[in-house]
């Protein structure tokens, strides 16, 4: 790539995708923010002038819809969430240099200015397009006010995005078979005049931009098909009240599409930072107008906005293009998607209330996989990583070596740093810098853990406790104190609070947050007190307790909201993990030994005393069967009679919970999705 390595002479801007002011944060949401915070801290440690900015995304239809449900104004609704986010991030040591929101004056003004520039440069035109309209509600249906079918992949899609299918951005009028989410009725398409941004004119530019773009490979590759295919112009106005008014004289009720003003907040937030600290500390105009290195850190569901629409807008209005886009994978909980409506989540507040230090989850999220890979969270895995790596490797090395140094020498013994350890620390600094330049927060974290691992091996190999006081013993301990100091410096991005504690334990001056990587090799303080233990083990009983809490909460929520499961599927970020295919093939004759029949459920009742089991009476044509199935909690039993199912008719009889079971009903997955027939095959028909 054409960019020079970090640190550069240019001001850098690191941004995190704006959280949408619409709900509570769970630890899955934190991945992007923790990643962004680690990345910007690591850049600063390398000596890069850096502003780390973000803000809340206040506009758009989901806020308007939910505010209406609560009977408050969209502004009130969004501000409430904004304030919660603003308070929550620092509790996880995510410390933005500026955190604004898209509805504030800075962003409103800058957005209007940018749109006026787009117009002046000839990039905006007016066109009549079909807009979904709800005649009963007498209302236009922008974005999330309409649902229907994606014209590209045929999946169910919501408003402006195909969130369950191909992930495409959908333009107004594109969604097929539109249905109003206000009344649930079929919507009409009516012609209406809207403003368009000529993205198509920038097609060639965007192709070149993608060649230069750094970051994660998903962000570099995924937009290719959009940019190399037929690039459509982009409708930038919407028929609603909530949003930033389209600038100009005769604009009645058009506001700007939320995806116009949202990314502009990256610039606005940087501008606010400059206004606070002064242009001599950080100059937003230099960063965004001249030669800034801009790194966007986002979730992978918004790659298209950051690699097509946003750079097109920047290019058309004379701003600097992004240098890199890092798009994170999703996060699952015990192998399944987080579901806020099912309360199947570990909430950010909850994590803190359980008394866990932010460093633990930061470390977990940063190092569990590559940034673009999906990461699974479970309390078991969390315990294992904390106990093995943070307690067993990092904490163990620091405590044993610093305690020994304190007891034997009341601090750092008088000796020069050995060549071997100097080389090893320099290697860790190189790995750290390589992590930054490879856009890998995992590597930034792992570089430090490997250094601590080396420290453990080093002290074990030299066994200073067996040595008489002398040059060799002093040398070994001096080396270990230096490694400890290097850990403090290099671990600051991942575990800022813990690094500061270690820095204080080492009796170092000032704060570790202000030092660069070179401080890892500066001579340590001559004296220090007994060290603290940085990390505590998580006990197995704690994990059991936390899992029980999660399970009972999910069950309680399921009871409360049993009837409404419809919008839940779309919320699961990732489907259940699939089992690998079986290696062994079977012959056709073996398959034919299974007697599969179409059945019709005649009756279904729960088995008393059994949590999961239901007794079904199934008509399989030649006879009626009594079959026990583990579906009691997963289906509404009253709804089952009349349903067609597939039955394994020649399965051995069994007794379950004292009830005879004569056959098996086929079902898919943990939710026991019952298999049925597509047409009207009669009960008893052989399935083959």
Residues forming the site for Zn ion (CB under 5 A)? 150, 152-153, 162, 165-166
C-alpha 600/C-alpha 628 separation (Å) is 14
CB of 155 to Zn ion, least distance (A): 5
CB of 572 to Zn ion, least distance (A): 17
CB of 171 to Zn ion, least distance (A): 13
* Residue corresponding to tokens 């004119």: 201
CB of 228 to Zn ion, least distance (A): 18
Q: Which is nearer to Zn ion, 223 or 413 (CB)?
A: 223
The structure tokens listed for 593 are 């030994």
Q: Which is nearer to Zn ion, 11 or 299 (CB)?
A: 299
C-alpha 552/C-alpha 627 separation (Å) is 29
Q: Which is nearer to Zn ion, 150 or 489 (CB)?
A: 150
What letter would DSSP give residue 649?
T
Compute the chain's Rg from CA coordinates: 30
For the chain, the straight-line distance linking the first and the last C-alpha, in angstroms and rounded, comes to: 56
What SS3 state is found at 259? helix
Q: Which is nearer to Zn ion, 156 or 553 (CB)?
A: 156
Sign of CA dihedral 582, 584, 586, 587: positive
Residue 339 bridge partners (DSSP): 344
Q: Which is nearer to Zn ion, 166 or 651 (CB)?
A: 166
Q: Which is nearer to Zn ion, 574 or 602 (CB)?
A: 574
| Phi-psi region at 585: left, alpha or beta (left = phi > 0; alpha = psi -120 to 50) | beta
The structure tokens listed for 641 are 């009679």
Q: Which is nearer to Zn ion, 143 or 389 (CB)?
A: 143
- Helix locations, 287-331, DSSP H: 303-304, 310-316
**8 Å CB contact between 629 and 606:** no
* Residue corresponding to tokens 């009253």: 638
CB of 148 to Zn ion, least distance (A): 11
Q: Which is nearer to Zn ion, 175 or 254 (CB)?
A: 175
Measured in residues, the chain has a length of 688
CB of 573 to Zn ion, least distance (A): 17
Q: C-alpha distances in angstroms, 503 versus 390, 432, 479, 683?
A: 17, 19, 16, 74
CB of 161 to Zn ion, least distance (A): 9
Q: Which is nearer to Zn ion, 41 or 158 (CB)?
A: 158
Q: Which is nearer to Zn ion, 229 or 642 (CB)?
A: 229
Q: Is the peptide bond before 339 cis (omega within 30 degrees of 0)?
A: no
CB of 170 to Zn ion, least distance (A): 8
Q: What is the 3-state secondary structure (H, E, C) of 14-70?
A: EEECCCECCCCCECCCHHHHHHHHHHHHHHHHCCCCEEEEEEEECCCHHHHHHHHHH
What SS3 state is found at 560? helix
Q: Which is nearer to Zn ion, 55 or 167 (CB)?
A: 167
CB of 301 to Zn ion, least distance (A): 13
Q: Which is nearer to Zn ion, 154 or 335 (CB)?
A: 154
Q: Residue 678: which H helix or E strand, with range?
A: none
CB of 242 to Zn ion, least distance (A): 26
Q: Which is nearer to Zn ion, 153 or 526 (CB)?
A: 153
CB of 489 to Zn ion, least distance (A): 47
Strand order in the sheet with 146-149: 156-158, 146-149, 176-180
CB of 162 to Zn ion, least distance (A): 3
C-alpha 146/C-alpha 157 separation (Å) is 9
Residue 53 bridge partners (DSSP): 15, 98
**8 Å CB contact between 366 and 323:** no
C-alpha 97/C-alpha 350 separation (Å) is 26
CB of 570 to Zn ion, least distance (A): 13
Sign of CA dihedral 542, 546, 548, 549: positive
Strands 293-299 and 12-16: parallel
- Cβ burial of 630 (10 Å; 0-12, 13-18, 19+) is middle
């Amino acid at each position: 790539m054409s960019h020079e390595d970090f640190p550069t002479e240019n001001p850098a801007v690191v941004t995190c995708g704006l959280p949408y002011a619409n709900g509570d944060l769970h630890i899955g949401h934190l991945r992007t923010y923790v990643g962004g915070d680690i990345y910007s801290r690591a850049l600063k440690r390398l000596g890069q002038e850096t502003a780390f900015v973000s803000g809340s995304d206040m506009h758009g239809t989901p806020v308007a819809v939910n505010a209406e449900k609560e009977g408050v104004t969209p502004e009130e609704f969004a501000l409430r969430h904004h304030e919660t986010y603003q308070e929550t991030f620092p509790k996880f040591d995510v410390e933005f240099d500026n955190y604004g929101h898209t509805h504030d004056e800075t962003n409103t003004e800058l957005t209007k200015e940018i749109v006026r520039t787009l117009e002046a440069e000839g990039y905006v035109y007016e066109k009549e397009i079909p807009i979904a309209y709800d005649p009963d509600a007498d209302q236009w249906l922008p974005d999330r006010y309409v649902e229907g079918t994606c014209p590209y992949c045929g999946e169910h899609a919501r408003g402006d995005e195909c969130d369950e299918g191909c992930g495409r951005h959908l333009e107004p009028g594109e969604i097929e078979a539109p249905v109003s989410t206000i009344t649930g009725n079929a919507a009409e398409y009516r012609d209406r005049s809207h403003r368009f941004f000529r993205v198509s004119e920038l097609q060639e530019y965007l192709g070149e931009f993608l060649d230069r773009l750094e970051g994660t490979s998903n962000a570099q590759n995924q937009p290719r098909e959009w940019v190399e295919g037929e690039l459509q112009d982009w409708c930038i106005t919407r028929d609603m009240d909530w949003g930033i008014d389209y600038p100009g004289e005769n604009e009645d009720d058009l506001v700007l599409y939320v995806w116009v003003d949202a990314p502009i907040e990256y610039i606005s937030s940087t501008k606010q930072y400059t206004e606070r600290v002064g242009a001599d500390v950080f100059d937003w105009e230099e960063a965004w107008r001249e030669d800034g290195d801009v790194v966007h850190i986002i979730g992978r569901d918004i790659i298209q906005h950051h690699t097509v629409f946003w750079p097109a807008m920047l290019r058309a209005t004379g701003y600097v293009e992004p240098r890199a886009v890092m798009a994170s994978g999703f996060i699952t909980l015990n192998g399944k998607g987080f579901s806020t409506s099912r309360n199947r989540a570990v909430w950010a507040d909850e994590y803190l209330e359980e008394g866990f230090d932010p460093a633990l989850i930061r470390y977990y999220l940063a190092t569990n996989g590559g940034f673009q890979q999906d990461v699974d969270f479970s309390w078991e895995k969390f315990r294992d990583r904390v106990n093995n790596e943070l307690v067993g490797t990092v904490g163990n090395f620091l405590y044993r070596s610093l305690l020994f140094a304190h007891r034997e020498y009341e601090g750092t013994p008088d000796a020069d740093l050995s060549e071997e350890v100097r080389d090893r620390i320099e290697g860790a600094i190189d790995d750290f810098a390589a992590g930054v330049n490879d856009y890998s927060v995992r590597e930034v974290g792992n570089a430090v853990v490997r250094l601590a691992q080396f420290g453990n091996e080093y002290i074990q190999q030299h066994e200073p406790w067996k040595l008489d006081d002398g040059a060799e013993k002093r040398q070994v301990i001096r080396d270990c104190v230096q490694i400890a100091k290097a850990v403090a410096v290099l671990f600051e991005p991942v575990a800022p609070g813990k690094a500061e504690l270690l820095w204080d334990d080492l009796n170092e001056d000032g704060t570790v947050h202000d030092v660069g990587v070179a401080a890892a090799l500066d001579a340590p303080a001559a004296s220090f007190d007994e060290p603290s233990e940085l990390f505590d083990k998580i006990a197995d009983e704690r994990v059991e307790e936390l899992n029980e809490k999660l399970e009972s909460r999910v069950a309680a929520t399921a009871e409360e909201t049993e009837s409404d499961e419809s919008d839940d599927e779309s919320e699961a970020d990732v489907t259940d993990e699939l089992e690998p295919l079986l290696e062994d093939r079977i012959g056709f004759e073996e398959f034919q030994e299974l007697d599969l029949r179409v059945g019709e459920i005649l009756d279904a009742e729960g088995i008393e005393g059994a949590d999961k089991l239901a007794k079904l009476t199934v008509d399989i044509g030649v006879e009626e069967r009594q079959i026990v199935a583990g579906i009691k909690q997963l289906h509404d039993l009253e709804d089952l009679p009349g349903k067609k199912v597939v039955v394994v008719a020649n399965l051995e009889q069994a007794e379950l919970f004292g009830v005879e079971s004569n056959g098996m009903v086929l079902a898919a997955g943990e939710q026991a999705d019952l298999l049925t027939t597509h047409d009207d095959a009669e009960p008893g028909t052989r399935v083959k």
